[in-house]
Structure formats: C-alpha cells, structure tokens
Structure 1
Amino acid sequence: MFFRGLFEHSIDGKGRTSVPARFREVLLQSYGERLVVTFGFTDDPAERFLGIYPLKNWEEIEAQLARRNQSDPGVKEIYRTYVANAFEVEVDKLGRVLLPPNLRAHAALEKEVVWVGQGKRMHLWSQADWTRAQSAASSADRQKDAAQVWGEIGG
C-alpha cells in the first residue's frame, strides 16, 4: 500500500500533530506504528519539509547506504544530513506523533501543516512553504519535466 493524498492539520504547542486517518490505515495494514522522521530530501535548498518513513522503509534505505562506498561524497552527505537528523517516533493512541524541536525548526512547522503522500513515504510541510512550493511547481519547466516522467510510467 502507498501513501497518497494531501491533508491539512495543525501542530500543538508540544510539537504533536495528527497523522491523517488514511495514512494511519496504511501504516496499520502494512507497516506498524513506528516511523522515522528526518529532513526532507530535495535538490532545492529553498524547500524545507520533513520526510517521514515507515521504520521498515527507512531501514531499507539505511541498508542500501551501508552497501555503498562509504567514502563517496554523496553517501557522506546523506549520513551527515539525513541519517544524523533521523528520529524514530511512534504514533500514539490518539493518532499523533511528537516531532523533535530541531526538525520542527528546520521545516518551520509552527501551527498549520500539510501532510503529503509520496508513495512509500510522507512529507510534512508548513502550510506557507507548501503554498510557495506549489506556486513554484507550476512553472512551465517543472510541468514539462513532470509530463515526461508521467508519460514514461504510463500515467
């Protein structure tokens, strides 16, 4: 099962946010309630969001990294930036996760947040940054890139 859809939620003063009900269903059916939260991976430094992975999927990523040449600069950067900032969290009985302060600060998560399904993972954005990213994504070049990939996968 995959994570898909877009859900607007809030974050409380303690840094907790509800995992969307649809995402919780996917977790319960396929993965369990343990997640790994880290910086979102992007080639655009202006984009700030969190990447949220079921623990099983994150462990697969770490296993693939472990098989790579550890002196490769890209591998080193992934370890320093993404693995070093990865935190394991668990969905509580009310369907919420507690996000560490440094991750909330990195993604500027304060009040309104947007959960975005990304197949085998989820992204968590501030409402303001999500709106900005969507405006940028509507550029002709990005639409052309997306159309090419969409055609290649038979969409």
Structure 2
Amino acid sequence: MWGILGAAVEIMFRGVNPINLDAKGRMALPARYRETVKSHCEGRMVVTIDPEDSCLLLYPQPEWDEIQAKIIALSGFNKSVRRIQRLLIGHATDLELDANGRMLLPAPLRDYAELDKKIILLGQGNKFEIWSETLWNSTRDEYLQAENDEEIPAELQALSL
C-alpha cells in the first residue's frame, strides 16, 4: 500500500491476542486489526507453517508475495533451501476475511501447530504468529527463564529499552 507521498506504508501488528477457534476451525481477527487488513490487502492473507517452531505464520498477501518471490529466487540445488521452499511455500494457503472478520485455518495446519479451542495471535510487525495457548505459554516461559549469558547480537545491545 502506498502513502500520499508515494512512500510505502508499513503495517504494524503487535501484541498478544487470546482468541477462541470455533468448531469449524475459524478464528476471528481482533477488531483492532480488521480495518488495517481490509485496507492494506482487501482482507486477503496467507498462512503457512513456521519451520522452526510449532506455530503458524499469518501474512497479509502483499508481504507474503515479497517473501515468496525471494524464496523462489534461491537456488534449489541447496538442500536447506529446498527444505525451506517445500515447507513454507508448500504449506502456504490463501485465506480471506469473511464478513464477520473470520478466517478458516486449514485442518493440516491446525494439526501441525497443535491448535485447539484456545489460541494466541502474536503480532510480529508485518505478520502474526498463531500459537496454541498452551504451547505459547510454555514457550514464553522458556524464553523468560533463559540464561542471561546468551550471546546478544550487537544490534540488540545498541537498543535502549
């Protein structure tokens, strides 16, 4: 999406949002994000698996299109690249917000992320992560309990919190 002066307008998703999946596997996007998603990508989103964690990644269509183009451009002769291409692109599924702001998460992806009734929608800037509430809580607790002697990248050390 482009702003008044022709510069790209960046969307920003943040926060921890507890959500309930309905019996059909639909999740309602929180109301505070709906207008942004509708205006930015006409309600079109893409969901795929996170190959590193048992969660899903939910992108607005334009952001996913950029990522997919970069992944496809990588050499398929590299085994690691092929693995990522197969996992991310192979599981990518187009979604669309319905009139009630809901999206149907495909059963195979719900199974991968161990999603049941209670889920967490975690804002990550240009995308969301979708976690099982139980798995997110345990992962978050692991992060909070992590040793302080882990190597912190210089870019993070330069931030003032």
Match of 1:114 in 2: 120
Query: 2:128, 2:13 → 1: CA distance?
Result: 7
For residues 55 and 78 of structure 2, the distance between their equivalents in structure 1, rounded to whole angstroms, comes to: 25
**Unpaired runs of at least 5, structure 2:** 1-10
Aligned counterpart for 1:91 among listed residues 80, 92, 97: 97
The runs of at least 4 consecutive aligned structure 1 residues that moved more than 4 Å come to: 142-149
Cα 1:127/1:149, change in 2 over 3 Å: farther
Q: What TM-score, normalized by structure 1, do the two folds share?
A: 0.87
Alignment of 1:46-57 (within 5 A): 47-57=53-63
CA shift in 2, pair 1:143/1:68, >3 Å: same
RMSD: 2.0
Q: TM-score, normalised by structure 2?
A: 0.84
Which residue of the partner structure matches residue 20 of structure 2?
10
Residue 56 of structure 1, CA deviation: 0.7
SS in 2 for 1:69: coil
Q: 1:32·1:54 contact (CA, 8 Å) conserved in 2?
A: no
Structure 1: gaps spanning 5 or more residues:
none
Aligned residue pairs: how many? Answer: 151
1:24 is aligned to 2:34: yes
SS state of the match for residue 92, structure 1?
Answer: coil
- Which of 139, 142, 147 is residue 145 of structure 2 equivalent to? 139
Change (3 A) 1:13 1:27: same
What percent of counterpart residues are identical? 30
Quick one: distance in 2 between partners of 1:106 and 1:24?
26
Q: Which amino acid aligns with 2:37?
A: L
Q: 1:27 to 1:154 in 2, by over 3 A?
A: farther
Distance change >3 Å, CA 56–CA 90, structure 1 → 2: same
Distance 2:51 2:158 in 1: 23
**Cα contact 2:46–2:59 (8 A) shared by 1:** yes
State the distance in 2 between where 1:142 and 1:57 align.
Answer: 34
Number of the residue aligned with 1:67: 73
User: One-letter code of the match for 1:19?
Assistant: L
Instruction: State which drifts further: 81-90 or 140-149.
Output: 140-149
Secondary structure, counterpart of 2:121 in structure 1:
strand
**Which has a greater percent of helix?**
1
Deviation at 1:32, TM superposition (A): 2.6
